[in-house]
Structure formats: C-alpha cells, structure tokens
C-alpha cells in the first residue's frame, strides 16, 4: 500500500509528478478491479478534500462522486465519514467544486435511492447558490434524472426546477 502511494506521488520513469487527474483515474479503475484496495485509500482521499489547492480538491471530489455514485457502490453506506466529507463539498468555497458536485447528483438520484434524501438536501441549498452556473447544474441534474425515469425525482426536486 505504501509503495502504491509513493507511485502516486512520483512517476518513476521520469521523476515528474503524476497529474492529480491521473491519480484519481487510476484509483477509480482500481476500484473497478478490486474495491478492497480503494477502501484503504479512502482516508487519504478524505484528507485531499481539504487541501487548499482548488484543482486537486475538485479532482478528488470528482473521484468520490464517481466512487459513491456507481450503480452497485455501497461505499457511502460503508464509509459514512467519507460520505459526509463529500457532501460538504457541495458548500465548497470554489465554484468549480460546487458545480462538479451538482453535475454528479443525477447519478445519485438514478442509482441510489437510499442517498436521495442527502442529495436532495444539498440540491435544495445549491438552488439558491450565488453562482448562476451552480444553479444551472442543479436544474440540469434534476431534469436529467427525471428523463431517465420520473420515479428518480420527487416533488421537492420538481419544485426546485419550477423555481
């Protein structure tokens, strides 16, 4: 595990740092192959959600969104602290992080009925976001989930679109 983390930090062939997006893509692919490995990395990923680097925070937020929202994922249930940390990114100071969270909301609404209440609450708060792009992504997430199946959305979510 330590060796894997070191490889994340440096590319051995040319000693240049690996891009954060590459690390996140690798972690996601590892999860597809062997989910047990990724569960050991979740504390590290949680820590990265608090970094001052906006791009890094955005990439790790995207990673958690992908991991949690996958069709058969039970990571949110198994790692409630990581789930809470992810939900906190909906209120991130960075517009790009908030937008990213809203963009992935549709996947939660479609694939995880058990997480809809948490996501609905986050969308409720973001529908009044100061940034127009965030508000737009809230509406798009709800509409997209509704297009995949009207049972993916509830009256509250329809009310957000109406506003």
Task: Give the angle subtended at the CA of 97 by the CAs of 28 and 135, to the nearest 5°.
Answer: 125
Q: Read off the pLDDT of residues 111-158 as tens digits, 9 standing for 90 and up.
A: 999 999 999 999 999 999 999 999 999 999 999 999 999 999 988 888
Owner of token pair 């009207």? 150
80, 156, 71, 89: CA torsion to nearest 10: -50
Q: Read off the pLDDT of residues 5-26 as tens digits, 9 standing for 90 and up.
A: 565 555 444 556 789 999 999 9
Token digits of residue 143: 């509409």
Across the range 76-87, mean pLDDT stands at 95
Token digits of residue 118: 């948490």
Architecture of domain 2-162: Alpha Horseshoe (1.25)
């Amino acid at each position: 595990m330590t060796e894997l983390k070191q490889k994340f930090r440096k590319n051995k062939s040319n000693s240049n740092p690996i891009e954060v997006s590459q690390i996140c893509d690798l972690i996601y692919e590892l999860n597809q192959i062997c989910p047990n490995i990724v569960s050991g990395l979740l504390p590290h990923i949680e820590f990265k959600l608090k970094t001052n680097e906006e791009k890094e925070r955005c990439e790790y937020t995207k990673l958690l969104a992908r991991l949690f929202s996958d069709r058969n994922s039970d990571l949110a249930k198994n790692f409630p602290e990581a789930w809470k940390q992810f939900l906190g990114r909906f209120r991130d100071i960075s517009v790009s992080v908030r937008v990213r969270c809203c963009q992935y909301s549709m996947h939660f609404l479609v694939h995880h009925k058990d997480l809809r209440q948490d996501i609905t609450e986050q969308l409720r708060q973001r529908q009044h976001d100061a940034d127009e792009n965030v508000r737009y992504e809230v509406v798009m997430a709800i509409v997209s989930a509704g297009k995949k199946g009207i049972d993916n959305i509830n009256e509250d979510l329809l009310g957000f679109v109406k506003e």
